[in-house]
Structure 1
C-alpha cells in the first residue's frame, strides 16, 4: 500500500513546494491535492492543463505520486441542494475534478454526494444527488477516472448496505466508494463497512476517532482513538485492496511538519503490524 497525505493536513496557504517537501521528508509516497476556489493554493477552478501538468512534474521531483483529488467546494454547492442552479454549480466542480484528474494521470476523485438538512429530506438528497451523478458518469467513463463517493458526517448513506445500493444503482465501474475509516466509527465498525463495500472501494481515507467524545470534536491523531486497526487491515486484505491509504487530519497549530512525521510513522506502524498479524494467522 502507498502512504498518502491530504493537502488539508497542512495549514491553509502552505505552498505546494512545502506540501511536497514536508510530505517527502516525512516518508509519504503520495499526496492528495484539493480542488480549491480561485484564490486557493494548487488546483483551482481556473487551473489549466499546462498548470496541472507542471504540478505533476513538481510532485515527481519530490518522488511523490498524485493518486486522487478531493474538494471542499461541494459543501457550498451540494449536488442535493434545493436550487437547481446550485446543483449545476456543484456538477461543474465535479467536472473540473474529472478534467484535472485526466490531465494529471489520477484515477479517482472524491465526491461528497450531498447533505440531509432540515430543508433537504433524505429522499430528496438521494434522488437529487443521483440525478447529478448520472449526468457526470459519461464524462468519468470517457476520462476513465472514478468518482469516489465519500461517507462523511452529512446525515446521509448511514449504513454500508445503503451505500452499496446507492452505488450499484448508478451502474458504472467508474462510480465507487471513497471510504473514510474514522468517519463511521460513531455509527458502526469500519471493518464491517469494508467487507460489505468490497471491490466498490476505490480509495481509503484514514483518521482516528474517540468514541468517548462522540461528536465532531472526537477526531484525533492516528493510534490515539478507538479504530481497531488490525481488524481494518484484515478487512482490506480480504477484499484485495492494495492501493493508497490517505491520511486526512487537522494541522498542528505550531508547526505543520511534526504532523506529517507523526502520521507517516503511525501509518507505517498500522501497515506493518497488520502485515505481521496476517502472517501469524497464516502460520
Structure 2
C-alpha cells in the first residue's frame, strides 16, 4: 500500500473510532517508552529519539485537549534513569529543561489554560531542571482546564516506601495514632499528587507492564491499561483512540459485572434487605439485557 493510501486508510479508521467513542477518560497516564529503540531502528543517535518523542508529547497534549481529557501524566524520567551513563542523563536533562520552558511559553498552553506541574523526587534533579520546573509552575499557576503532570525522578515503589517510613517515624514519635492511619492519611503524604485518580495507562514500545508508575493512583483505582507496539515517537492519534476504546470497553465490562452482582443480591436477600438491594441494582439500569432488570425489580416488589 502506498504511503498516501495508508494515510487515507488511517484517517478513515480514526473517524470510525471517534464515532464509536462515547467520551474520554478523565485522567490518562503515559509511559513514554521506546525513544532509544526508535533511534536505533532509524540509525540515529539516541538523543534524536528523545527529541522525536518530545514531538509526540506535544501532539499528545493537543489530542487530550481536543478529546476532553482533563489530566495527562507523562512518565518522563524515572528514578532508574539515574543509572544511565552520565552523558545520556545530561542530554535528557537538557531536553527536559528546554521543553519545560518552551511549553510554559507556548501561546496555546495559555489559551487553553494548561496547568504544568512536576511530580517526583525533584530535589535529585540538577538545579537547571528544578529552575525550569519552577518556571513552568509559576507561568501556569491558576490554570485548571487541563492538568499536565511531568513525572521526573519518579518511582512508585520508592514513593510508597517513603510514605511507610514517614508514618512509622511519626507513630514512633507519638505524633500519629495508628488508629488514625487510613487511605486519606497515606495519600496526603505522597509526592505532589495528581489531581485525579488515573483512568487509563498507556504504554507504547511493546512492553506489557506498568513499570512502577503511579501505583496508588492507577493500580489502586484499577485503571485500564493499553499496550501497543509502536515506539513512542511513532505513536499516533489513531493509537490514542484505540486506547480510549479499550478504556470504554473495560468500563462497560466493569458496569455489567457490578450489575450482575447486584442482580444476584436481589435474588437472594431477605425482605429487610430488599430496599437497599433494589437501590443498588437501580444504579445499573441499562447495563443488563433489555427487560431483565425491570423484571427482577417487579418480582422483588
Q: Which of 1 and 2 has greater Rg?
A: 2
Q: Tell me: higher relative CO, structure 1 or 2? Use CA pairs within 8 A at least 6 residues apart.
A: 2
TM-score under structure 2 length normalisation: 0.39
Query: Hey, which of these two has a bigger chunk of strand by percent?
Result: 1
Query: Hey, which of these two has a bigger chunk of helix by percent?
Result: 2
TM-score under structure 1 length normalisation: 0.41
